[in-house]
Homo-oligomer: A and B are copies of this chain.
Amino acid sequence: MENAVDTRTDGPENRQYLGLRDGISARISAGDLKPGDKLPSERQLQSEFGLARGTIREALFLLEAEGAIFRRDRSGWYVSPPPVVYDPTRWEGFMSYVEAQGRVPATHTIRTETLPADPLLSEVFSRPLGAPLHHIRRLRSVDGRAVLVEKLIVDAAITPDLLDFDLNTSLTAILKRKFGITVARNQISMQPCALTGNEAVDLKQKSGLPGLALQRVSYDGHGRVVEYDHEYWRHDAVQINVDLRVR
């Protein structure tokens, strides 16, 4: 960081945090800072640019919102790696499609339990109230960075001993090999959101990080609901690609 960037735009447009953003942004584009690199600390930037810490942070927040950098709590700011591409129509599981993009996927199972169906889930699965359902909460990472939290619900009636298998591998593969279940149709809903509460905690992020919430209902060839899934992605970790015939 020896070459200080001139952040003075010196016009009616004198928003200093924009200048600082452009400066850091330029260093990233130029390759001075590469994905995974640590930025100077806020206090270093402060003395380097002669700005108050609040202004420095404003610029960092903006870069974070743009997906250019991310933070590790009380460790520092880092340059973001590129996002992974996710095509819901070619669903072969997280592990395989992340690997196919030359990245290293990992899955950590946070909790599993079998619970009786509440009214909503009873409706979704077309099963009686109280029917047993497997709940699985997993954290998934790319290249060592946690990128999404997943809450999976599967009908225990058709996958009785599912929780006995190693859930840190591909669930798709388990369903196919152990239970002969394949997915034929997905109904997907997604919204940009803020990651808060448990999701923020599991991703080790401050509450409020932008994210993408995705809900999926998966059906097998007979129209039976196989899986009900809630995913919470970091906003900077994913790009969705789909190819659709219009109805």
Contacts and interface: CB of A to CB of B under 8 A. Distances in A.
Given A65-B194, A88-B242, 19 more contacts: A18-B207, A65-B208, A67-B191, A89-B244, A89-B246, A184-B245, A185-B244, A187-B241, A187-B242, A188-B240, A188-B243, A188-B244, A189-B242, A191-B235, A192-B210, A192-B212, A210-B210, A242-B242, A244-B244
Given A65-B194, A194-B62, A210-B65, A242 B244 contact: yes
A246 B235 CA distance: 24
Contacts of A177: none
B186 A244 contact: yes
Interface residues of A, number: 44
Interface of A: 18, 54, 61-62, 65-67, 83, 88-91, 183-194, 196, 207-212, 233, 235-236, 238-247
Contacts of A190: 239-240
A188 B245 CA distance: 11
14 contacts: A54-B54, A62-B196, A67-B193, A89-B246, A90-B246, A186-B246, A187-B241, A187-B242, A188-B244, A190-B239, A191-B239, A192-B233, A192-B236, A194-B210
A83 B210 contact: no
A157 to B, nearest CB: 22
